[in-house]
Amino acid sequence: MNENKKKIWITGASSGIGKALAIKFATNGWQVAVSARRESLLQDLNKINSNIHSFPLDVKDEFKTKKVFEYIIEKFQTLDIAVFCTGIHDPNAEKKLSSETIRQIMETNFFGTLNCVMATNNYFKEKKSGHISIVSSVAGYRGLPAASGYCASKSALISLAESIYFDFKRHNVRVSVINPGFIKTPMTDKNKFPMPMIKSPEYAAEKIFIGLTKKNVFEIHFPIAFTMIMKLLRIMPNWLYLLIASKGISKIKL
């Protein structure tokens, strides 16, 4: 392993944003550790670029997450950035309020990410450098229909990133949050409603790569035209947001 190359760990890398991001970093000469449940898809990434290395993982398993991170450090010797990108959502399952569905989403999206943060916690603090980035979504800004679990999990991730920012900053470790708009992935392909300003995973990877390597910002969000609209909705009084959202939703068959 080349000691001079920068190194990154990306979870949720078997498809969508995580996959595109792994290819982007590897193409730019980084050594990339990729994790996801589907090992065969991770091995396909290694065939695309030899800088990508497979570390299969279900992030819901706290013990396994810690062991996989130990394997990564054993192979890479060091790590510069960790991007936690794991996420699930099924709009069809969320049409009906279900505690089981919400619990499954929270277990993967929030607690799975938390397991990854805790796995890297001591390493980065003792190293006194590095960067943890959590992939959330603009869906975390406000509650949306047919997304009670997804929005709750993404909102929780934004709050988690904001909270741990202060803790890690004391150890010279950077924390950031990534809030994309609609990105065309196997997950968003399930949506049955119009998705304004939807972008490709490669577009998202480019924006994230720039945000992680060339800028020093807490929040990486894109596309700007869409995320600024969502930010405006975020600061609206509740009565106004709910009124506008209700009128918009009435025009969409969910």
Beta strands in 122-173 (DSSP E): 131-135
In a domain, 61, yes or no: yes
Residue 253 CA to its chain's centroid (Å)? 28
Q: Which domain holds residue 161?
A: 7-228
What's the pLDDT at 206?
98
- What are the residue ranges in the chain where pLDDT is below 50? none
In a domain, 250, yes or no: no
Is 176 within 8 Å of 219 (Cβ atoms)?
A: yes
10 vs 72: CA distance, rounded Å: 11
- Token pair 């992939």 is at which residue? 135
35 vs 21: CA distance, rounded Å: 12
In a domain, 246, yes or no: no
Closest CA to 150 of 92, 68, 231: 92
Query: Residue 68 class from Cβ within 10 Å (0-12 exposed, 13-18 middle, 19+ buried)?
Result: buried
In a domain, 251, yes or no: no
Closest CA to 158 of 100, 230, 242: 230
What's the pLDDT at 28?
97
In a domain, 41, yes or no: yes
- Token pair 């959590």 is at which residue? 134
CATH of the domain at 18: 3.40.50.720
What's the pLDDT at 253?
56
What's the pLDDT at 188?
84
In a domain, 1, yes or no: no
226 vs 10: CA distance, rounded Å: 25
27 vs 4: CA distance, rounded Å: 16
Q: How many CB atoms lie within 10 A of CB 232?
A: 11
What's the pLDDT at 107?
98
Domain count, the chain: 1
pTM of the model: 0.94
In a domain, 247, yes or no: no
In a domain, 239, yes or no: no
Q: Which long-range contacts (CB under 8 A, 24 or more apart) does 189-193 make?
A: 190/89, 190/90, 190/91, 190/92, 191/91, 192/91, 192/253, 192/254, 193/252, 193/253, 193/254
